[in-house]
Chains A and B, each alone.
Chain A
């Protein structure tokens, strides 16, 4: 197999106008943090992008107080129509600055520019546009007439889709009439800081959106703050458990979007060309650092060899490298910690009898990289069939009957996503019925939309983001 060599086609970073250091965005003002500042590096080069303030407990207190004041004085009393107009403004500015945001996101996260340009950032703008329209229609979210916001929402988000996760949190919260304090992940704070500038450009009243940077302790202090009414967290199941425990017995409302170990089920009558693309998209999109990744391939035994041959051929054409290059398919792993975790779990999978395969691909010398990998001969009890790897690693299992496929797919404490590939509509519907997963993609994978509720069963968390159900999470009461 040969293919044409591509000339480098890097997206220019000249569109960026970054500061050397960023403070905390509290009450509409930039201020230094009480903790020790930290740097964010580009995962593909290990070069420092900027330094960011670290919020200590006093800063968390100030941010929550600013959000409370804005809730009482401006955002709470404001009409839904005006709140919506602010959100529409933000959506438009996000579209205007889309290229800049895509470049910043790729630089800070390590994901390919084609993903930030074509998926992350367009979805961010769409999320604000969608939620903007809800702000003056809350009587119809399904809670009865005149539902009320909770008040101050504390939101903690992960590093895999930094600005997209911000939009999933901030847009519905503001549309419902809450004010927010959001903490972006420690390794990807950059686009949240650009979002603060966008709030300024939109003329959003001070204190409605407060953005505080810092590590895990900052997040822990934020969700535990006594004047917070609503907590929304996306991240690991382990941290989700801690938060649920900390909030037990309080009045706080909680939604959690946690880990997953999604099954991607390929039946023998599947449209194979599309299925191969779907498998690749399911596990190599964003280097597999996706909570709903299709990380367990369940392939019908009769087509196992054919699927593996075609998958390996397709994987050989994936281009790994500079995230800012428009031809790049697989970018950098977000951090050295994550790279270590992926390596450790894959080593465990091989030690337990799995057979790992990666295409010949040269990893850049600088940065954090992991070649796309498929592991065959995996047992349902194997570590890599059970634990979330959060990397470009596909575990392959086989099945003979639909019942076996369903049993294996559901054999996990998680329940976030699943995929079904088959040309038989009635079978697709029957299997989808029995999968215990919050999102099921049939003959597609990793599709997201603000009108479509997203969230998990079981230990993948609770609550939904997106659509009417997503709005309900930020409202209470109703007559």
Chain B
């Protein structure tokens, strides 16, 4: 009670007098393997608001950063896929919880970088939170939608289950950057894929989402976020031999046909661009899975 009272008093004082306190601005870096390194290239992108005022220097990922990110994603993949579905569900729900608690920060960032009103920005953040909750609930159900027992003509117990395809490289939607990013990352995580994603927008809310992920018990490397030039990074990811799927949802403005051709060299699963965030369907989750069918022999009694 005492603490709450003090806080109220401080707040009312702040409102009464013009603040003299100097802000502590955030350094927006990459998110790779659970850590927040700068780009090895030393490059940054200067982000300004709608009126041209300086907001931040966001680290700009390079080809080598992309390679590191794929390595981190591959390393994390068996562990994430091997976690129980209940566990994955709780982690994804935790993301929603932590995001809810940091709503104000995301509203602020989206206002600055997407020129939104506070109300519109809040609406996007809330939609993103709800989308994490929706996906959290799928982890222990999707196998019942995508898998089945198969009545084969013989003495076999035969079962098909959807399994994660592996490492998924994603070009996230440009518009509505937080919601768009959630709409492509969350479905990949549901079944146990790990992700390397080039976010859309200025990258601020993407890196802040990385902070949310890092404090939500998501193992390091499960999601790797590379703010930067998608046109520069995507070809390396599309051609990378240790990437299993390429999600081009947000690549509509890029030369995505070339990216799909590059992906063909290693027969990656490719999701072609769509307008806006990815659709909210179980099919979208299953698109990043492989059906594994196991035939178990039944003995003669």
Residues of A within 8 A of B (CB): 126, 142-143, 237, 240-241, 244-245, 248-249, 256, 258, 413, 415, 428, 432, 434-444, 447, 449, 451-455, 457-459, 461-462, 464, 467-469
Contacts and interface: CB of A to CB of B under 8 A. Distances in A.
B260 A438 contact: no
A437 B154 contact: no
Contact of A447 (B78, B152, B261, B291): B152
B80 to A, nearest CB: 14
Interface in B71-100: 78
Interface string B162-193: 00011000000000000000000000000000
B261 A467 contact: no
Nearest to A462: B269
- Most chain-A CB neighbours within 10 Å: which of B153, B166, B256, B265? B153
Contacts of A432: 292, 294
Nearest to B265: A241
Given A248-B270, A451-B151, 12 more contacts: A244-B264, A428-B296, A438-B292, A440-B293, A444-B295, A444-B297, A447-B152, A451-B152, A451-B158, A454-B293, A459-B266, A467-B148
A241 B239 CA distance: 13
8 contacts: A248-B257, A248-B261, A248-B270, A415-B290, A438-B290, A440-B292, A440-B294, A447-B154
B249 interface: no
A373 B160 CA distance: 33
Contact of A459 (B78, B267, B290): B267
A121 to B, nearest CB: 15
A108 B256 CA distance: 44
Nearest to B299: A443
Contact of B256 (A240, A249, A461, A464): A249
Contact of B267 (A434, A442, A447, A462): A462
A457 B81 CA distance: 15
Nearest to B292: A438
A99 B105 CA distance: 74
A126 B153 contact: yes
Contacts of B158: 449, 451-452
Contacts of B295: 439-442, 444, 447, 452
B156 interface: yes
B264 A245 contact: yes
Interface in B108-135: none
Given A443-B297, A469-B160, A451 B292 contact: no
A449 B154 contact: yes
A437 B292 CA distance: 7
Contacts of B290: 415, 438, 457
B48 interface: no
Given A143-B283, A241-B267, A462-B269, A451 B150 contact: yes
Nearest to B267: A459
A249 B146 CA distance: 27
Nearest to B297: A443
B145 A442 contact: no
A415 B292 CA distance: 10
Interface of B: 78, 145-146, 148, 150-154, 156, 158, 160, 165-166, 241, 244, 256-258, 260-261, 263-267, 269-270, 283, 290-297
B244 A458 contact: yes
Contacts of B156: 444, 447
Nearest to A435: B292
B291 A455 contact: yes
B271 to A, nearest CB: 12
Nearest to B295: A441
Nearest to B245: A462
Nearest to A245: B264
A458 B291 CA distance: 12
A375 B264 CA distance: 33
A336 B265 CA distance: 29
Contact of B150 (A142, A258, A452, A458): A452
Contacts of A436: 166
A469 B291 CA distance: 8
A449 B150 CA distance: 9
B17 to A, nearest CB: 59
B136 to A, nearest CB: 22
A34 to B, nearest CB: 30
Nearest to A445: B295
Interchain residue pairs A-B with the least CB separation, the first 3: A249-B257, A244-B264, A248-B260
Contacts of A459: 266-267
Contacts of A442: 294-297
A256 B267 contact: yes
B53 to A, nearest CB: 40
B296 A453 contact: no
Nearest to A244: B264
A142 B282 CA distance: 10
A443 B166 CA distance: 27
Given A143-B283, A449-B152, A438 B291 contact: yes
Given A241-B264, A447-B156, A462-B267, A439 B293 contact: yes
A237 B152 CA distance: 28
Contacts of B269: 462
B267 A461 contact: yes
A453 B256 contact: no
A463 to B, nearest CB: 9
A142 B145 contact: yes
A97 B156 CA distance: 29
- Most chain-A CB neighbours within 10 Å: which of B145, B154, B296? B296
A452 B160 CA distance: 8
A455 B163 CA distance: 13
A439 B154 CA distance: 16
Contacts of A440: 292-295
